[in-house]
Amino acid sequence: MKRVNKAQSVRNYVQAHPTATASQVAKACKVGAQYVYQVKADAKKRLDKQSDTHVESILKDFELAWKAGAGKERPERDPRVPQFDNVNHPAHYRAGGIETIDFIEAKDLNYRLGNAVKYITRAKHKGNELEDLKKAQWYLNREIDTLTGEIK
């Protein structure tokens, strides 16, 4: 029987439990949350190395196969092309290999600080960088006002 190392254990757990937080994965695999983040980041780097040409070639093969079988109804998608989940794991929160929610939970941030982090981390990836940074600033100002007693 082949022995599974810590990183493979983390990858196996994440694959079996895709909605698990880094804290849950760390506890189940008996490793630190930071180690889980590193394994996820390494996995993302490996995925990024699979160039767009790989996906393009799959799509081209798919298109050619469909055209060759003209008259048949076109399938919705090729299962080899990764699908993205904009509800549970949006790309703008996964940039850098760490999901923002996992970072917020690991640092035990409150609502205001969590939202500030959320807007900062997605600013360059969502569309309107300046607007997201202003939202982050609003939440930080609100936290500062709460700490100084200006808001109760």
Write out the chain's pLDDT in tens, 152 residues: 566 688 888 888 888 887 878 888 889 989 888 888 888 777 766 665 554 556 566 666 666 665 665 555 555 555 555 555 665 666 656 666 677 888 888 889 999 999 999 999 888 877 789 999 999 999 999 999 999 999 87
Report the pLDDT value the prediction gives residue 12, as an integer from 0 to 100: 84
Look at residue 82 and tell me if it is in a domain: no
Entry pTM? 0.44
Look at residue 136 and tell me if it is in a domain: yes
30 alpha carbon, distance to own chain's centre:
22
What's the CA gap between 58 and 82, in Å, rounded? 11
Coil vs helix vs strand at 98: coil
Spell out the residues 6+ positions from residue 26 whose beta carbon is closer than 8 angstroms to its own: 32, 33, 35, 36
Look at residue 143 and tell me if it is in a domain: yes
| Most distant CA atoms of the chain, gap in Å | 70
Coil vs helix vs strand at 10: helix
Look at residue 126 and tell me if it is in a domain: yes
Look at residue 96 and tell me if it is in a domain: no
Look at residue 142 and tell me if it is in a domain: yes
Number of domains within the chain: 1
- Give me the domain span that covers residue 113: 109-152
Look at residue 114 and tell me if it is in a domain: yes
Report the pLDDT value the prediction gives residue 50, as an integer from 0 to 100: 53
> What is the b/e burial string over 62-100, where b = at least 16 CB atoms within 10 angstroms of the residue's CB?
beeeeeeeeeeeeeeeeeeeeeeeeeeebebbbbebbbb
Look at residue 149 and tell me if it is in a domain: yes
11 alpha carbon, distance to own chain's centre:
14
What's the CA gap between 38 and 146, in Å, rounded? 34
Q: Quote the DSSP letter at residue 97.
A: G
Give phi and psi for 51, each to the nearest 5: -65, 160
Report the pLDDT value the prediction gives residue 78, as an integer from 0 to 100: 53
